[in-house]
Structures are given as structure tokens and as C-alpha cells.
């Protein structure tokens, strides 16, 4: 009788394990200004040649940065879908995605309506599905996606990703933890190649 092997058994055989850590830090409206989260991003950014960040706010860490809010320091100020389509038209191929959208409808309204931009609740209900699908097209095989939020959904297995690391950042009793997920794209596409700028 053959023994059914679990995913953990398969990972153990390959020598690959998911890393999981939990730390405490004060919350910050600018996610990457929270020290452990900023360190998490820089660890992966240091290995990247071409990176994209569709919700960058004031962080200019990625090769291509965007934020809908025109009062931020991002390079582009487009809707995330328009930004990702623009990069696709420029034939950009990246090895790192930094994906830190608003985590709730309240955060979305706070981030964008304060500067006169109206946001549709449908965008949030979709959990950024269209943006993730477009970003996935820009990522080469073996690339890393860093996603941030109040869940560990990330890019997901259906898009060809495997979780490599999860960092839980506790912000105290009155705040949700920030869940930071690093996933590797294990399934490529026909357009894979070397990470490249326009």
C-alpha cells in the first residue's frame, strides 16, 4: 500500500521550507516605514534587477513606482491597472513585485478620497484580482512577489506561486497584524526571459 505524501513531506524532500516569523512593531500609515516590514522588503529588493510597485505612495524603492494619489513621490500617478498595462506595453519584465494596496475599504477611501479621487467599492470587493493578474504577466519565472495586507492570500497557487516566507507583524491589541508574504513564481509563461526595463 502506497503512503499518501503531504506537501510538507515533499518540501522536506526538496530541502525547501516556508519561513515564518512573528514580530511586534508600532503601526505606520506608510507600511515600509515600519522597521521589520521595511527590512523584509529590502531583503528581496537587494536581489532584484527590475521591480514594480503599483501602490508605492512615497517609497521610490522599486524600478517602477506608481500611486494614484498625485501628492505622493511615486514616478507615475495612474490607476494600478493603467500603470500595469503601461508597463506591459513597454515590454517590461520584472523579477520582483511589491504589492501593498489599501487593506480595507476604509483605507482606500482615506488614501484617495482625501485628494478628491473617488474609489469604487467593487475594486476592493474583488481583492485586487485584476491588478494581480496583470502584475503576474509582467513577472518572469522564479521572480518574487511581496504582498501585504490582513490576509496571506498573496498571488496564490492558481497564478503559479509558492509561499517562501511569511512575516506577521503584530501592532498591539487595537490593531490588525500586517501579514507580509513572499512568494516565488514557479510556473512561467511564454514571455519569460531576463528581467528587463523598457
| pLDDT tier at 143, thresholds 50, 70, 90 | very high
Those residues whose C-beta lies under 8 Å from the C-beta of residue 135, and which sit 6 or more positions away, are 52, 54, 84, 97, 99, 145, 155
| pLDDT, position 1 | 42
Q: Give the predicted TM-score (pTM) of the model.
A: 0.85
d(CA 55, CA 61) in angstroms, rounded, equals 12
pLDDT digits (tens, 9 = 90+) for 38-87: 999 999 999 999 999 999 999 999 999 999 889 899 999 999 999 999 99
Those residues whose C-beta lies under 8 Å from the C-beta of residue 175, and which sit 6 or more positions away, are 27
**Rg of the Cα atoms in the chain:** 17
pLDDT digits (tens, 9 = 90+) for 81-133: 999 999 999 999 999 999 999 887 777 767 666 656 566 555 555 678 999 99
SS3 content of the chain, % helix, strand, coil (to 5): 30, 25, 45
- In this structure, are residues 54 and 131 in contact, taking their beta carbons and an 8 Å threshold? yes
What domains lie within the chain, and their CATH numbers?
17-185 (3.40.50.150)
Q: Quick one: 112 exposed, middle or buried, by C-beta within 10 A (0-12, 13-18, 19+)?
A: middle
The half-sphere exposure of 171 on its side-chain side, counting CA atoms within 13 A, is 16
Amino acid at each position: 500500500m502506497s503512503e499518501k505524501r503531504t506537501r510538507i513531506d515533499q518540501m522536506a524532500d526538496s530541502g525547501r521550507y516556508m519561513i515564518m516569523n512573528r514580530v511586534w512593531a508600532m503601526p505606520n500609515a506608510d507600511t515600509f516605514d515600519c522597521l521589520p516590514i521595511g527590512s523584509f522588503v529590502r531583503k528581496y529588493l537587494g536581489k532584484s534587477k527590475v521591480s514594480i510597485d503599483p501602490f508605492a505612495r512615497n517609497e521610490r524603492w522599486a524600478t517602477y513606482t506608481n500611486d494614484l494619489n498625485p501628492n505622493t513621490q511615486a514616478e507615475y500617478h495612474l490607476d494600478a491597472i493603467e500603470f500595469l498595462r503601461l508597463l506591459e506595453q513597454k515590454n517590461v519584465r520584472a523579477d520582483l513585485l511589491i504589492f501593498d494596496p489599501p487593506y480595507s475599504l476604509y483605507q482606500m477611501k482615506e488614501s484617495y478620497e482625501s485628494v478628491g479621487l473617488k474609489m469604487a467599492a467593487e475594486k476592493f470587493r474583488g481583492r485586487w484580482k485584476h491588478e494581480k493578474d496583470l502584475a503576474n504577466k509582467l513577472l518572469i519565472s522564479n521572480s518574487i512577489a511581496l504582498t501585504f495586507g490582513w490576509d496571506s492570500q498573496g498571488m496564490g497557487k492558481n497564478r503559479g506561486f509558492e509561499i517562501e516566507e511569511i512575516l506577521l507583524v503584530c501592532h498591539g491589541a487595537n490593531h490588525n497584524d500586517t501579514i507580509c508574504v513572499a512568494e516565488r513564481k514557479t510556473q512561467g509563461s511564454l514571455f519569460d526571459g531576463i528581467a528587463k526595463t523598457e
